[in-house]
């Protein structure tokens, strides 16, 4: 059984949001909630274009958590539409409108309509690090081997 955490969501303009669905999981074990576009008019995203797509809501995330904004796999694979700063992070102390930064990496203009599922939100626990400056780090088998160091 998965742990359930309550997120408080507030529609920014309730009268104009009655046609929009709440973010929702679409299967019992889904990690991400699909989130819909709140654009008022169709938004045409040409190849290479980046835009911020409104969702029409703000959320209160409990301390110790973040909401990650991730691409929807179908949009990414079929149309080249992805989240530009994937995964985006919505911090627990942010109370502004949730917006999704999208980029069209595809070859054709893509139209985003009101109510289209544009991204998914994943609630994730957060740990904050305490930074300790030291003179040396402990040794590992990998050492400072960077990208491609394993030969693959």
What does the pLDDT look like over 77-96, one tens digit per residue? 999 999 999 999 999 999 99
**Which residues lie closer than 8 Å to 87 by C-beta, 6 or more apart?**
68, 69, 70, 122
Four-point Cα dihedral 60, 126, 33, 118, nearest 10: 90
Alpha carbon separation from 3 to 8, 29, 38, 51, 140 (Å, rounded): 16, 11, 29, 34, 35
Angle at CA 57, nearest 5°, toward 56 and 62? 160
Q: Could you give the percent of the chain with pLDDT greater than 90?
A: 88
Give residue 113's pLDDT.
98
Mean pLDDT along residues 16-36: 95
Mean pLDDT along residues 59-75: 96
Q: Which residue segments constitute the domains of the chain, with CATH numbers given?
A: 8-125 (2.70.40.10)
Give residue 103's pLDDT.
98
What does the pLDDT look like over 87-128, one tens digit per residue? 999 999 999 999 999 999 999 999 999 999 999 999 999 999
What does the pLDDT look like over 31-47, one tens digit per residue? 999 999 999 999 999 99
Measured in degrees and rounded to the nearest 5, phi and psi for residue 24 equal: -145, 145
Is the alpha carbon torsion for 119, 61, 52, 48 positive or negative? negative
């Amino acid at each position: 059984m998965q742990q359930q955490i309550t997120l408080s969501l507030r529609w920014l303009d309730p009268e104009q949001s009655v046609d929009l669905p709440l973010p929702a999981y679409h299967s019992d074990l889904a990690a991400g909630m699909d989130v819909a576009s709140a654009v008022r008019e169709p938004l045409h995203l040409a190849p290479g274009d980046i835009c911020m797509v409104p969702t029409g809501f703000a959320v209160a995330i409990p301390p110790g958590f973040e909401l990650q904004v991730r691409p929807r796999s179908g949009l990414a694979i079929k149309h080249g539409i992805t989240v530009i700063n994937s995964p985006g992070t919505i911090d627990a102390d942010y109370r502004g409108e949730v917006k999704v930064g999208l980029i069209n990496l595809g070859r054709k203009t893509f139209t985003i309509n009101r109510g289209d599922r544009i991204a998914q939100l994943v609630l994730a626990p957060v740990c904050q690090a305490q930074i300790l400056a030291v003179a040396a780090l402990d040794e590992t088998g990998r050492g400072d081997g960077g990208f491609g160091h394993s030969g693959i």
